[in-house]
Amino acid sequence: MAVVENQLALAPLGAGDLIDRAVRLYRRHFLTLIRIAAPPVLVSATGSTFTTIAFREIGATPSSSRLLLYLLMLFGGALVIASGSLFSLIVMGGATRNLVAHLLWDEPVSFRTTYRAVKSRFWGLLWASMLVAAWLVLCGFIAITAFYLVFALLLVMTFALGSVMPTWITGIFTGLGTFTAIVAGIILFFWLAGRMAYVPQAMLVEGRSVTSAIGRSFSLASGNARRLMAMALFTLFATYSALALLIIPLGWYGWLNGVDISPIGSTWPAWYSIGYEVILQCSHILLAPIWMLGLSLLYVDERVRHEGYDIELMAARHLSEMPQLPGVMSPFAPALVTRTAKFVPPAPMPPQSVLGLHQ
């Protein structure tokens, strides 16, 4: 097979290499990836619009019936936002399968292929995504608790040192301690959250069940906190950079119409708040594929590091497919599983004589 550009060098990747590969794939398949990432973000954008309208009107309506309506709208909008986030996790699994097929056999990255893969395991992916979301909430709670514990210890030490040290030294100590507590909380969050980063990928690429995929993700995720954190920070900064560029025309228009556009200014008009939320979601559509590709590449990289996945992929490219035994999933499974493993009990052994000979 001729070497083509899509066949990335399957070597262990650092954080910078991971981001670089994700950006290059993003540039190469820009329009297709935007189509893939758009549906979940549009669902979240709809919920965000409903939530913005309801939140603004709850405090302004004099009618109790309208108040109930806006409360229901607020709850429904939050539910739609959560559904969009779950949908994003589901789509990541299909995108990973499409990417691995792209690396293996030069299959095109396409909207139809990705969502066909999502459809094939939708309910399992939905259940897995709910578990991943619950795990992320738990990780956030643990990280915030750890931050407050470190911060409380810092305050006690500051009060103890304040009587014997100059004020400026106490201020420097407080600032450094607060920064350390924030960094420690972020690292703890990503160290815990990264344990469930590969659940959709394990389901769609390896054909595993939900519980097996969770165990698989935990086993693969050792040492990925730094690269996962780098991907998250890059995506966060890129998202808000894109937001800053997209929001400039709206800000100019609002300023010309007398809107105080500062975040701490007066209450924004409804049209400005809704426009801001729509532009925010548009920036997410532009940057969500990078996060999606980053997780896919990170999954492949973990398998390269731990299992020699690069050798497996090269064998899959150049050798014929491994024969499949009925009802048996070989430990040397293909690089891209095309079926779900089913357990078939072994056939009973024939009776033996006293000497151990088959009768």
Per-residue pLDDT of the chain (359 residues; tens, 9 = 90+): 444 444 445 556 676 777 788 888 888 888 888 888 888 888 888 888 888 788 777 777 777 778 888 888 888 888 998 888 888 888 877 887 887 777 666 778 888 888 888 888 888 888 988 898 899 999 999 999 988 888 888 777 777 766 676 777 777 777 887 888 888 888 888 888 888 888 888 888 888 888 888 888 888 887 777 788 887 888 777 777 777 777 778 878 777 877 777 665 456 777 777 777 778 777 777 777 887 788 878 887 777 777 766 666 666 556 555 555 555 444 445 566 654 444 344 445 555 444 444 44
3-state secondary structure of 4: coil
Beta-ladder partners of 358 = 352
Q: How far apart (Å, rounded) are the C-alpha atoms in residues 334 and 316? A: 7
Amino acid code (one letter) for 277: E
3-state secondary structure of 335: coil
Q: What is the pLDDT of residue 157?
A: 77
Q: Is 285 exposed, middle or buried (0-12, 13-18, 19+ CB in 10 A)?
A: buried
DSSP character string of 295-334: HHHHHHHHHHHHH-HHHHHHHHHHSPPPP--TT---SS--
Q: What is the pLDDT of residue 5?
A: 42
Q: Region of 308 please: left (phi>0), alpha (psi -120 to 50) or beta.
A: left
209 C-beta neighbours (distance < 10 Å), count? 16
Q: What is the pLDDT of residue 321?
A: 57
Q: What is the pLDDT of residue 347?
A: 46
Q: How far apart (Å, rounded) are the C-alpha atoms in residues 189 and 136? A: 8
Q: What is the pLDDT of residue 178?
A: 82
